[in-house]
Amino acid sequence: MNNKFDVVVIGAGPAGYVAAIRAAQHGLSTACIDAWVSQDGQVSFGGTCLNAGCIPSKALLESSELYHRAKVDFGKHGISVGELSLDLATMQARKSGIVKQLCRGIGALFKANGISGLGGRGRLLPDNKVEYTPHGGEPELIEAEHVILATGSEPVELPSVPFDGKIVVDSSGALAFDMVPERLGVIGAGVIGLELGSVWQRLGAEVTILEAMDQFLFMADDQIAKEAQRQFKRQGLDIRLGARVQALEMTKSGARLAYEDTQGGHDISVDRVVVAVGRRPCTDGLLDPLAGVDVDARGFIDVDSVCRTTAANVWAVGDVVRGPMLAHKGSEEGVMVADLIAGEVAEMNYDIIPSIVYTSPEIAWVGKTEAELKTAGTAYKTGTFNFSASGRAQAMDQGAGLVKVISSSETDQILGVHIVGPMAGELIGEAVVALEFQASTEDLQRTIHGHPTLTEALHEAALSVDKRAIHAINH
Residue environment code for 233-261, b if the CB has 16+ CB neighbours within 10 A, otherwise e:
eebebbbebebebeebeeeeebbbbebee
Chain centroid to CA 425: how far?
11
Cis bond before residue 452 (omega within 30° of 0): yes
Alpha helices per DSSP H over 10-78 = 14-25, 47-52, 54-72
Residue environment code for 188-219, b if the CB has 16+ CB neighbours within 10 A, otherwise e:
bbbbbbbbbbbbbbbbbbbbbbbbbeeebbee
Which residues 6+ apart lie within 8 Å of 38 measured at CB? 44, 51, 100, 103
- Give the active site residue among 451, 459, 471, 475: 451
* Best CA proximity match to 61, nearest among 101, 95, 85: 95
**How many alpha carbons fall within 13 Å on the CB side of residue 217?**
28
Tell me, yes or no, if 449 is annotated catalytic. Answer: no
Task: Tell me the pairing of strands 414-421 and 402-408.
Answer: antiparallel
CB neighbours (10 Å) of residue 378? Answer: 15
Identify the H or E element spanning 146: strand 140-149
161 contacts 245 by C-beta, under 8 angstroms: yes
Q: What is the DSSP letter of 407?
A: E
Q: Which residues are catalytic?
A: 451
